[in-house]
Structure 1
């Protein structure tokens, strides 16, 4: 596989990891066993998963945009769809969380990352529209 395919796979993995982290922290905060700071946990989850996922999705798009790739486009679209579905589930869990643990990072993250996953889906779909540029044999094109 080419580098952009592996980067797209890593991006999808990080999108899935972010959704899993958000769901796990939200489920935990419904009935916490001990006291935690959800604000710092959210900042940690954003910095180690969703921010690199967005950068990797953009990088794989930039690498594949010259010739288009259905696989890379599908992986990028899947990352955006996973994020939208996961954030909608997290939004349903937020009203069940104990009010002492509701922080702005927890309430705004599903909205922000649902909105930010829409451009991810769009750039993935752009790879389907691109026509492959034929590879040229420069030695014989003289």
Structure 2
């Protein structure tokens, strides 16, 4: 496989990992165990920023590099992997947005409330770039007569 396919695979995995991380943090904020001592000092904002920097930021960069490397000739497989990553991120953010009404009031901050909306909106360009890459036609080479 070419390097751009591996970048697209890694990007897709990081998008899915980010969605899983956000869902797990939101699930933790819903079902907080009563007997844990550090709950009084738990703040979700730094953890969410950490997941953004570990998961979705590198995923977006890898998807962009994969797109730039393959936009000249187009690739259905790379475009579909980028689209799948965007769709999985959208689904994960939708699930985490649906969990907002169950979260304890102590943990509801602006970051907790707006991160799912922000990344649902940002998944649309990722999906559209992947769709554009699947529809890209290969350029015909120039014929040299001499």
What's the TM-score, normalizing by structure 2?
Answer: 0.90
Give 2:52's match in structure 1, choosing from 46, 52, 59. 46
State the match for 2:79 in structure 1: 73
- Take 1:17 and 1:136, find their aligned partners in 2: how far apart are those partners? 43
State the match for 2:65 in structure 1: 59
- Take 1:141 and 1:52, find their aligned partners in 2: how far apart are those partners? 45
- Take 1:21 and 1:135, find their aligned partners in 2: how far apart are those partners? 45
What's the TM-score, normalizing by structure 1?
Answer: 0.93
State the match for 1:18 in structure 2: 18
- Take 2:91 and 2:142, find their aligned partners in 1: how far apart are those partners? 42
Inter-CA distance 61–141: structure 2 relative to 1 (3 Å threshold): farther
Give 1:103's match in structure 2, choosing from 93, 105, 109. 109
Deviations 1:89-128 (A, max 9, x none): 1011111000001111111110000000000011101112
Deviations 1:22-70 (A, max 9, x none): 1100111002124121011000000000111111111110001010000
Unaligned residue ranges in structure 1 (runs of 5+): none
Unaligned residue ranges in structure 2 (runs of 5+): none
How far 1:133 sits from its partner (Å)?
A: 2.5
- Take 2:132 and 2:18, find their aligned partners in 1: how far apart are those partners? 24
Inter-CA distance 133–40: structure 2 relative to 1 (3 Å threshold): same
4+ residue runs over 4 A deviation: 134-137
